[in-house]
Structure 1
């Protein structure tokens, strides 16, 4: 179990989640806008240290970077097994945990939560995270097989 392979796999899963989210947000009516969660987290954090950034593009960039990094860390914890039963349970567990955390964070951070306020948006969020988990474990297993 290589730390480098786990890191690459976690980043691949995070990028898959982010890519699908951005495509769906742009082209699917009623898709979740998870960027709002990250942007609010960035703004809240900056306010606590008396920093004010009014440039929306900078806040968005910081939020995207934070989302990609935090999801990569989440998914890298998944990439630890090549055993089929462990793969299934870890993939489902990690994907659903990530979705639940995002949905819960949206409710906490956004007073009028429009990011995940419908069942459709919650299911789509769960799907994004499950996709990221599947990509992570797939990339991890591919890299582990190649390194042997």
Structure 2
């Protein structure tokens, strides 16, 4: 299998894992990170800057999830398909999680969705670490598959 395809598939797997966990846990745990809200705020801010009116919240939420899957998929594809995919995935995931806690406030998106409690912070880092590990694991598995 082509290394670019392997990287893309593993990146998408990591992104889908992060999104699935996030969307599931937020429905049951009040201190869960709300990365979807950060995405909605970022989209709204960008649209207003461009002189456009943001869509309603349901559509904005969908756009946020699609944007998260695309951007996280591209990010996690950096895990690659080589022998050190697990290691790169864990580093990329941890870095994304720390960024998810530290960066929203300075970016003007508000800190509360990912930084309001210690549990929220830990879950934010944990979600993105999980995504990196899934991307690394899928990359390693795809490397072993003879297609």
Q: Scaled by the length of structure 2, what TM-score is found?
A: 0.90
> Residue 21 of structure 1 corresponds to which residue in structure 2?
22
RMSD: 1.6
| Cα displacement (A) at 1:147 | 2.7
Structure with the higher fraction of residues in helix conformation: 1
Q: How far did 1:145 drift? A: 0.8
Q: How many residues align?
A: 144
Residue 42 of structure 2 is matched in structure 1 by 41
Find the counterpart in structure 2 of residue 128 from structure 1.
127
- Measured in 1, the distance between the counterparts of 2:88 and 2:70 equals 20
Aligned position for 1:78: 79
What stretches of structure 1 move > 4 A for 4+ residues in a row?
none
Between 138-147 and 87-96, report the one with greater CA deviation. 87-96
1:37 shift after superposition: 0.8
Q: State how far apart, in whole Å, the 1-side matches of 2:94 and 2:137 are.
A: 17
Aligned-residue offset at 1:27: 1.1
Other-structure match for 2:140: 141
**Structure 1 length-normalised TM:** 0.89
Q: What runs of 5+ residues in structure 1 fail to find an aligned partner?
A: none
| Equivalent position of 2:59 in the other structure | 58
Q: Which moved more, 1:16-25 or 1:45-54?
A: 45-54
SS in 1 for 2:103: helix
The 3-state SS of whatever aligns with 1:17 is helix
